[in-house]
Structure 1
Amino acid sequence: MTGSSVHARRRTDAIGVPRVMTPARVMGLALVVSLALLCGCTAERVPAPPRDRGVPAGGFRLVAFDSCAEALQQLKTAAKAYVGPWGFGPNGGIRTFDNGEQAGAPAAAKRADAGPGGNAPAPGDMAAGAAAPSYSGTNTHEAGVDEPDLVKTDGKRIVTVHRGKLYVIDPATRQLTGELKLAPGADGFGGAEDSLLLQGDRALVLLRERWAGIAKPAVPQGGGRPAPDGGFAPVPDDIVGPRLVMVDLSGAPKVIGEYRIDGNLVDARQVGMTVRVVVRSAPRLNLPYREQATDEQRTAANREIIDNATADDWLPRYEVTSGGRTSTGRVGCDRVRRPASYSGTSLVTVLSFDLGVATLGAGDPVTVIADGDTVYSNGPRLYVANDQRWRVLPMLTTRNVAPDPKDETTEIYQFDTSGADAPRYVAAASVPGWLINQYAMSEWDGHLRVATTSGRTWGNKPDSTSSVYVLRADGRSLTQVGKVTGLGKGERIHAVRFVGGTGYVVTFRQTDPLYTVDLRDPTAPKVSGELKINGYSAYLHPAGEGRLLGVGQEASDRGRVQGTQLSLFDVSDPTKPTRIAQYHVKQGHSEAEFDPHAFLYWPAERLVVVPLTVYGTGAVSSPGAVNDKKVAGSPGLPTNVAVALRVGDGGFTEVGTVDHTLRTGRPEHLAPIRRSLVVDGVLWTVSDAGLKATSLSTMKTLGWLRTA
């Protein structure tokens, strides 16, 4: 995409919860989406799950099916209960199953404070005498648990994927050393954003597909589904879903294996050579809209279609390619588990892949019937969470009423991923409210901490409140042992970060309360401090020595946002958190506000780098500054830069800015910078136009590699 293309955008839904707007989500929101069910699949024979007929998990259970016939019948029963004249869910359903955020979010053991990247520990975590890494990894939630992103480095090479093409760069010579087309017609590729994971000489590229996971909504009789131009296109018979592509980087990059499954990619996590991929998909059911019929007749007709469906209509197909040979198959029922009561519209599967072998295989899946929106992992355990807002959201948007508390729950599924084999399902639990993103979950010392918001956050009389729940992972159960409630009444959570035994929670409506929560005693958590300032932080990052960095938006006394701000908090005394510095860019927005992968903190230089898009002329200011510094821009046209700041004991010092020129030197031709990384004293910035190398010591350009 060019500098004028649509990038990930921030969107606030009807209940005030931000959603990441990737290109696929922008297109997908125009569609009415139906029921989605995903089962795991495997090309090899795998053991069936234990038939324990019930797993206690804080009052929430999963049970296995006795037979495929029972599975199919119960899937039909659940579907018929929720289908209406327009499809599934209230008023026909509004969910899209593309999850480009988290992706986002979008994943080692005991610690909950993330380091500066997937390959580098957090400040203060270096063992005595250990050499500091010479490169930064992806900014991840947990150290040692990598997350897919559009660029990766291991210090020896930089690998990035863009518009269906993979590029390999030698950071020492600053030369493009490899290029590989991964998607047909990549030059005009219009799909969702791609990402990758890297280990040694192997890269696993995760390619999303434009219409993947979209179940067949109500359409005119005769079949088809809405096409991008508003017409109707036939539903394809081919597998439509994420493509996982294994690439060998030992020489010229080449594809050595592929995996595809019906559905959508939710997220993935990597520890060492093992990658866990979370996927969901939709049944191939055609629910035609009949114009000359009542709603009751349409609903009855849809239920009849469900009754006549077979396992082939429900279970997703897969395709594995290796050594020039392709094998296909369909998922069986023996790998499927369900909640004791119906709880979602998807069937979520955790797939496992070994980057150390020559083929991807079929993923050795573990499957649960439930929605899956958020993935978190600390290495030994992986959690998939979902909330139930979709059930009540369409009704609530038409009238200013509070949601039913029973419909405001987040269900959490815990998997044991301590080995390299298939993950083992351990337990499930539910907590009131919904999550902002994966940072709202964190496991530490055998306890899972979860921060949620409940209640109505919109209208003139918001009654929302936020809480932190503590669950103990005890064998095959997740049991609530403590909680803190009543945070930010009338507000919602904008950012969460857990660092060891302390939680930091930011809520916002007009002002920004930063709460510090003492979690050292999991049975008696308590709020230990509170700081109220204007604006809010949307992402929090530990910076060592009792310091916490925040990136978000400044706001007026009435809560009107006024541009990107970076905040430096002193949290050395949890009872008295203070903000000691602020860097404000008027009319500015940063991708780091909703995608932490865009945030770079390099502790060796105490350097912060964030991308900025500034409309008009944005004033950059910090407390105590005599004169505001201006970020040059043109009226009505955005300016796109990455700003580098050094974090001192008392505040921020601007090191410099970097921009990427797409075609000319005109402001409108500056490509938005997406990512930043450090390799051997060189700052590399990445945009859709290319990669730029900048000296950290002088901020002078050392090289430019164009990929657009």
Structure 2
Amino acid sequence: MTHKAKYLFFLLIFALFLGGCSLPWKKPVENQSLPDPVNAAEEVAGNSGQLKKFASYQELRNFLEAQSVNINQNYGRKEMLMGLDMASAPMRDGAITGEVAATGGTDDYSRTNTQVSGVNEADIIKTDGEYIFALVYNDIYIVKAQPVEQARAVAKLSFNSRPSEFFLDSGRLVVIGNDDQIKETSVYKSFRRHSPYTYVKVFDLADRESPKQIRDLSMEGAYQDSRVIDKRLYLIINNFNSYITNEVVTPRLVDNGKILSNDCSKNDRCFAPDVYYFDIPYDSYNFTSINTLDLSDEEASVKSQTYLLSGAQNLYASAKNIYLSYAQYLDHSDLLLAVMRERLTDKLSVDERERLAKIDGADSVVLSAGEKKQKQLQLFEAFLRARSSEESLVLETDLEDALKQKYEAEAENLERTLIYKFSLGTDQPVYRANGSVPGTALNQFSFDEAENGDFRVATTRSANLGLDGSTESYSNLYVLDGNLKQIGSVERLASGERIYSVRFMGKRAYLVTFKQVDPLFVLDLSDRQSPKLLGELKVPGFSSYLHPYDENTLIGVGKDTEVDAYGNVKTGGLKLSLFDVSDPKNPRELDTYVG
């Protein structure tokens, strides 16, 4: 590579870093021994990376004011530097299991399609066997479907803000949506923090023809996901970088039009969530709140816990635990700065070293951590520009080699999926453990909790433009124990491809990856410490969703594809596939439909 080419390459990387295109990365949090469930949140503390609880809201304010937060830091970075070809999101479906019937209707009817038995998921159409509930724009229609000769619409519920989805559970209709109308109220306009709000409206269905609204809640933040388990609603709400001086520091709750105070010493009915954080540096933060509501009690208060996380992307829930996960990426500018300090510091002039020391020693009130890093990078770049052509060629070659070595050493940390586990069974979830695995998860179907408590995760590791020496993506499957510590893995499946769908079924896992054809992989998970690949099948197209028909048959829903004369893949119409997996070493496609 010529001197000019080297310099331009190096300068391009440097410019991307200074332009805010680096990716946030913090070292994965180590797992800790688990405390007694009752006092888990209070006791998981003390060591670096452990969970801690803020003693007061003033302590939380002090913490947030000391943090370096760049609100726009996370957007657009992954695609720009990592070069991902993101798979289209699969359908939000799962194994057909049933929610509890709300009436005494027939048992011979289709239930909501959910991933885990006993874990109810929201949808836009549901039935209890006698009545059908359907969301159409801003209305939910209630249709009496049995007996057929008497079928008719018996009620319509209208909402000013369009519902996103709803639950039907134990005689309750729970409607969730983005509260657009609250922005027009004088109460909202008095807030300095203009966050999105999520509404939850609960109706008693004792009389299907005249549902009675019994709860009207509006929670500050963006709705992420929800589940109903054992008559309890678990609602995940995100607030992004929401701290504003002199504003209420925690997300607000509006109950029946009244803002609940977070000072429970002066109010009988209040909303004062405990706030937890991990003892690690935060480049950015997200208030992730787990809100719990007992649907069987009309007067139940909303229980809430808020966690300072860098993000929350996927929710998986079993009958016993909730898992939150998100992807984190290596901060390339940290590696670049580390290499520059190692290789160039002793070559700086006395004046330049003094300036570097002043930047290091600046109080966080004067210079945030991000601002310090930017100034240090600028100092080293100015030093390089001032060198002669011959000297800069030597220095740039040395920096390039050192940077490659750094990337190779951090290969497994280029992108990771972080997982947080919360146990159920009390009036609100209890934090249990956290862990991480290399690669990124596609969606909730990339996760599974086994009967023995193991947690299984399927991920794709991206090509990353060869920054660590690799040029191909590949997929992995990891087995974690109940403490989220890795105990088994199968890695480097399907070189050059990405996961498009996953299905865990007992002691087997099925993965679909895609680049030009659709490989269906069958993996044996019976040995938790040594999972292995049993067989694979390659067919045209891809399945973005896998559904078990029975233990030996899978239904694949996806797209047909064809490869043109130039080797380009073109996506066609809908494709349905029927797979026979009775012989796991030789799966086969029984039939297909392309429309």
Normalising by structure 1, we get a TM-score of 0.58
CA offset at residue 67 of structure 1? 4.4
Match for residue 129 of structure 2 among 155, 163, 170? 155
**Where do 5+ consecutive residues of structure 1 fail to align?**
1-31, 36-46, 96-101, 108-113, 122-130, 184-188, 214-232, 286-308, 394-400, 586-708
Secondary structure of the equivalent of 1:376?
A: strand
Match for residue 511 of structure 2 among 505, 509, 513? 505
CA offset at residue 541 of structure 1? 0.7
Secondary structure of the equivalent of 1:315?
A: coil
Structure 1 pair 282–267 and aligned structure 2 pair: CA distance change class (3 A) = same
Counterpart Cα distance in 2 of 1:339 and 1:409 = 19
| Alignment-derived partner of residue 73 in structure 2 | 88
Counterpart Cα distance in 1 of 2:449 and 2:537 = 25
| Alignment-derived partner of residue 602 in structure 1 | none
Find out whether 1:63 has 2:52 as its counterpart. yes
Find out whether 1:54 has 2:45 as its counterpart. yes
Secondary structure of the equivalent of 1:439?
A: helix
Match for residue 455 of structure 1 among 455, 462, 471? 462
CA offset at residue 210 of structure 1? 5.5
| Alignment-derived partner of residue 245 in structure 1 | 201
CA offset at residue 561 of structure 1? 1.6
Tell me if the contact between 1:375 and 1:383 (Cα under 8 Å) persists in the aligned partners: yes
Counterpart Cα distance in 2 of 1:351 and 1:562 = 42
Tell me if the contact between 1:501 and 1:519 (Cα under 8 Å) persists in the aligned partners: yes
Structure 1 pair 379–311 and aligned structure 2 pair: CA distance change class (3 A) = farther
Match for residue 581 of structure 2 among 565, 571, 577? 571
Find out whether 1:406 has 2:413 as its counterpart. yes
CA offset at residue 406 of structure 1? 2.5
Find out whether 1:426 has 2:415 as its counterpart. no
CA offset at residue 405 of structure 1? 4.7
Tell me if the contact between 2:193 and 2:242 (Cα under 8 Å) persists in the aligned partners: no
CA offset at residue 206 of structure 1? 0.4
Q: What residue identity is the alignment partner of 2:45? A: G
Q: What residue identity is the alignment partner of 2:153? A: L
CA offset at residue 158 of structure 1? 1.4
Q: What residue identity is the alignment partner of 1:276? A: Y
Secondary structure of the equivalent of 2:45?
A: coil
Match for residue 581 of structure 1 among 564, 577, 591? 591
Paired residue total = 453
Structure 1 pair 182–148 and aligned structure 2 pair: CA distance change class (3 A) = same
| Alignment-derived partner of residue 273 in structure 1 | 231
* Deviations 1:538-570, CA, capped at 9 Å, x for gaps: 000111151111011111244322211111111
Match for residue 77 of structure 1 among 66, 87, 99? 66
Q: What residue identity is the alignment partner of 1:118? A: G
Q: What residue identity is the alignment partner of 2:319? A: G
| Alignment-derived partner of residue 318 in structure 1 | 253
Paired residues for 1:489-528 under 5 Å: 489-528=495-534
Counterpart Cα distance in 1 of 2:512 and 2:465 = 18
Counterpart Cα distance in 1 of 2:493 and 2:551 = 26
Tell me if the contact between 1:535 and 1:553 (Cα under 8 Å) persists in the aligned partners: yes
Secondary structure of the equivalent of 1:388?
A: strand
Q: Which moved more, 1:349-358 or 1:156-165?
A: 156-165
Match for residue 206 of structure 1 among 172, 176, 183? 176
Counterpart Cα distance in 2 of 1:379 and 1:70 = 35
Counterpart Cα distance in 2 of 1:255 and 1:238 = 27
| Alignment-derived partner of residue 415 in structure 1 | 422
Counterpart Cα distance in 1 of 2:275 and 2:437 = 26
* Deviations 1:451-503, CA, capped at 9 Å, x for gaps: 011123789x9521110010000xxx211100110111111100000000000
Normalising by structure 2, we get a TM-score of 0.68
* Deviations 1:286-308, CA, capped at 9 Å, x for gaps: xxxxxxxxxxxxxxxxxxxxxxx
* Deviations 1:429-455, CA, capped at 9 Å, x for gaps: 111111111000001021100001112
**Where do 5+ consecutive residues of structure 2 fail to align?**
1-20, 25-37, 81-87, 184-188, 263-270, 334-403
Structure 1 pair 105–71 and aligned structure 2 pair: CA distance change class (3 A) = farther
Find out whether 1:282 has 2:240 as its counterpart. yes
| Alignment-derived partner of residue 466 in structure 1 | 475
CA offset at residue 260 of structure 1? 1.3
Counterpart Cα distance in 2 of 1:332 and 1:93 = 35
Secondary structure of the equivalent of 1:178?
A: strand
Secondary structure of the equivalent of 1:75?
A: helix
Secondary structure of the equivalent of 1:72?
A: helix
Q: What residue identity is the alignment partner of 1:326? A: K
Q: What residue identity is the alignment partner of 2:460? A: T
Paired residues for 1:548-697 under 5 Å: 548-557=554-563, 558=567, 559-585=569-595
Tell me if the contact between 1:482 and 1:524 (Cα under 8 Å) persists in the aligned partners: yes
Structure 1 pair 276–103 and aligned structure 2 pair: CA distance change class (3 A) = farther
Sequence identity percentage: 28
RMSD across aligned positions (CA):
3.9
CA offset at residue 416 of structure 1? 0.7
Counterpart Cα distance in 2 of 1:436 and 1:452 = 7
Structure 1 pair 105–434 and aligned structure 2 pair: CA distance change class (3 A) = farther
Secondary structure of the equivalent of 2:66?
A: helix
Structure 1 pair 564–94 and aligned structure 2 pair: CA distance change class (3 A) = closer
Tell me if the contact between 1:283 and 1:315 (Cα under 8 Å) persists in the aligned partners: no
Secondary structure of the equivalent of 1:51?
A: helix
Counterpart Cα distance in 2 of 1:204 and 1:49 = 30
CA offset at residue 578 of structure 1? 0.9
Structure 1 pair 94–548 and aligned structure 2 pair: CA distance change class (3 A) = closer
* Deviations 1:632-678, CA, capped at 9 Å, x for gaps: xxxxxxxxxxxxxxxxxxxxxxxxxxxxxxxxxxxxxxxxxxxxxxx
| Alignment-derived partner of residue 195 in structure 1 | 165
Secondary structure of the equivalent of 1:543?
A: strand
Counterpart Cα distance in 1 of 2:551 and 2:274 = 51
Structure 1 pair 181–238 and aligned structure 2 pair: CA distance change class (3 A) = farther
The structure whose residues are more often helix, as a share, is: 2
Structure 1 pair 284–50 and aligned structure 2 pair: CA distance change class (3 A) = closer
| Alignment-derived partner of residue 222 in structure 2 | 264
Counterpart Cα distance in 1 of 2:237 and 2:583 = 42
Larger Cα-atom Rg: 2
The structure whose residues are more often strand, as a share, is: 1
Q: What residue identity is the alignment partner of 1:202? A: R
Higher RCO (C-alpha 8 Å, min separation 6): 1
Counterpart Cα distance in 2 of 1:520 and 1:450 = 15
| Alignment-derived partner of residue 116 in structure 1 | 96
